[in-house]
Amino acid sequence: MALNNYCLVCGGTGCESSKSDEIYKKLKEHAEKAGISKQVQIVKTGCFGFCEKGPIVKILPDESFYVEVKPSDAEQIVNEHLVKGRPVHSLLYKTSDQVAAKSEADIKFYQKQVRIVLRNCGIIDPENVQEYISRDGYAALEKVLFEMTPEQVIDELKKSGLRGRGGAGFPTWLKWSSTRKTPADQRYVICNADEGDPGAYMDRSTLEGDPHSVLEAMTIAGYAQGATKGFIYIRAEYPLAIHRLEVAMKQSREMGLLGKNILGSGFDFDVEIRLGAGAFVCGEETALMQSIEGKRGMPVPKPPFPSESGLWGKPTSINNVETYANVPVIILKGGDWFASIGTATSKGTKVFALTGAINNSGLVEVPMGTTLREIVYDIGGGIKGGRAFKAVQSGGPSGGVLSAEFLDTPIDYESLTKLGSMMGSGGLIVMSEDDCIVDVVRFYLEFSVEESCGKCAPCRIGGRKLLNLIEKVTKGNATLEDIDTMRQISFAMQRASLCMLGGTTPNPVLSTLKYFEKEYMAHIVDKKCPAGKCKDLVTYSIDQEKCIGCTVCARKCPQNCIAGERKLPHEIDQSRCIKCGACYEACKFGAVLVS
């Protein structure tokens, strides 16, 4: 009998951590019991992107989009929906006006997205190569091996305008072409899957949801550059992505899609996985290659560039996961097609991991040139709890913070750099009026200082000094001179650091000094933290008029420093208060004041 339904269960890391695997097994079990296991195909896919609402189960062709599914819901999904064709209303995604979405098309989160990189995520079973192949998988490899010369492949990439998605935005074709042109007996291609930015998980999701797309692209890269060996450098903290890659590599080898004489073309190529220990600096290309060679992962000066002398002194090209994932589509649909999407200088799409004070956090893929406003309000559904928007941080610890006046900036490499931020690898952290900018900068500086390899002085010493100064600001002890000093250190680090870790560490400082100077001044001059985040600058007190003496705060206070009779106004003993904010959270009458 023919298949009637597909039941797609998200098997991304986010949903797996909330039991999607159990849901998957239960669905299979109940389908078996109901005697419909032949009519329904239950598939575990990669991330759907809408991780905020996970675990997600999608029924096709009805397009029912079930969110926050629990293993105990499996029975109802099978017996009601799959057997009787009646969608389980209570599990359907509800739009902002509480209407159940009939399909993905009704869900605003998806409406402005264009999926090239994530084309197979949430559609195919990543552990089944046949499904990848059925979605035009390995068709680009076929075309390249049998119909194109290496030069033509590089030309197609040139036409497409594809630039590196790992941060710097270097034209991919140029990298490949330089590597190809350096005479050598061996060349290497590397996939950078180190993804160390806090909050970023684009590359992880791509590998988990569609590992073959990266393997296919690396093989194409090998052919175009005359390399027979590839490495995937991935952090050991990504067990699911590693597992899916290993499964994919095994299948590809068995099918002759990796290894000797691929598809009978005479071209040999194979890939090896190398695990990283999770140091941020190991994502930097020269440090990464040191690490693959078995040395300590520390950056070395450029030039020579990897395309001249990379891994073991051989010409090497290194690309990011997302950069690779675009390649097969460009080969199949043509460089011109790709170049028709995006802005004048930045083509195609970009995947962002949207997090922070936003209603719909998740993984989103949008055409270059989409504005921050569209991402924050249309896709992201606005700020949590109806709070006011304050800023967006892009580019992780190397990036900057943009204020509300830039919400309508079309996002591409150039526009973000011009504003003192960076495309980076794609983390987008949204902040509301409840977030303190200085505190956020402190977080990123702490991260960069922690991750500095210590090899060069500007980064090692400068970073530490910057952090000390920022901490002074959060404590209300900084002076206006300190701001000047911060600027000077920043400029020195930008110029003199050996690698871009040190070179970009000051970015969060400089961009916030530019766009949020007022907030620094509040900390320095008025000794106040407007968002109430910097503990040393906050006092909690109880409004004697509003307090009805319900005693709730006194019971919640970990210091036991709130006193008062029942039904009479309470008071805080400031000398013992540790500013934990528990009383503020607890009071239902708005009687606890923060200042």
Ligand X SMILES: Cc1cc2nc3c(=O)[nH]c(=O)nc-3n(C[C@H](O)[C@H](O)[C@H](O)COP(=O)(O)O)c2cc1C
- The answer to the question of residue 34 lying near other proteins (CB under 8 A) is no
Q: Which of 48, 138, 233, 324 binds ligand FES (CB under 6 A)?
A: 48
Among ligand X, other proteins, ligand FES, none, partner that 85 touches (CB below 5 to 8 angstroms by kind)? other proteins
Rounded-to-integer distance, Cα 364 and Cα 407, Å: 17
Least separation in angstroms between CB 297 and ligand X: 11
Could you give the 3-state DSSP secondary structure of residue 109? helix
Among ligand FES, other proteins, ligand X, none, partner that 405 touches (CB below 5 to 8 angstroms by kind)? none
Segment 483-522, which members bind ligand X (CB under 6 A)? 499-501
Please, what sign has the CA dihedral across residues 14, 396, 527, 419? negative
Residues 6+ away with beta carbon under 8 Å from 153: 144, 176, 220, 223, 224, 331
Rounded-to-integer distance, Cα 203 and Cα 111, Å: 22
Could you give the 3-state DSSP secondary structure of residue 461? helix
Q: Which of 5, 8, 12, 144 binds ligand FES (CB under 6 A)?
A: 12
Q: Do the bridges between strand 188-193 and strand 316-320 make them parallel or antiparallel, or are there none, so unpaired?
A: parallel
Segment 14-33, which members bind ligand FES (CB under 6 A)? 14-15
**What mask of x and - would describe binding to ligand X in positions 174 to 193, judged by CB under 6 A?**
------------------x-
What is the residue-wise DSSP string for 20-57? HHHHHHHHHHHHHHTT-TTTEEEEEES--S-GGG-S-E
Rounded-to-integer distance, Cα 508 and Cα 499, Å: 17
Among ligand FES, ligand X, ligand SF4, none, partner that 318 touches (CB below 5 to 8 angstroms by kind)? ligand X
Tokens of 379: 């896709």
Residues 6+ away with beta carbon under 8 Å from 428: 352, 353, 354, 355, 356, 375, 392, 393, 394
- The answer to the question of residue 240 lying near ligand FES (CB under 6 A) is no
Q: Which one of the spans 161-169, 181-189, 237-245, 382-390 is the region binding ligand X (CB under 6 A)?
A: 161-169
Residue 499 or 529 with smaller CB distance to ligand SF4: 499
**What mask of x and - would describe binding to other proteins in positions 103 to 142, judged by CB under 8 A?**
xxx-----------------xx-----xx-xxxxxxx--x
Residue 87 or 122 with smaller CB distance to ligand FES: 122
- The answer to the question of residue 456 lying near ligand SF4 (CB under 6 A) is yes
Please, what sign has the CA dihedral across residues 527, 530, 535, 540? positive
In total, the chain counts a number of residues equal to 595
- The DSSP H or E segment spanning 432 is strand 427-432
Rounded-to-integer distance, Cα 127 and Cα 241, Å: 11
- The answer to the question of residue 489 lying near ligand SF4 (CB under 6 A) is no
- Binding residues for ligand SF4, rule: CB under 6 A, are 281, 299, 452-456, 459-460, 497-499, 501-502, 540, 542, 547-553, 557-559, 561-562, 570, 572, 577-583, 586-587, 589, 591-592
- Binding residues for ligand FES, rule: CB under 6 A, are 10, 12-15, 47-51, 54, 56
- Binding residues for other proteins, rule: CB under 8 A, are 1-6, 8, 60-63, 84-86, 103-105, 123-124, 130-131, 133-139, 142, 146, 255-257, 263-264
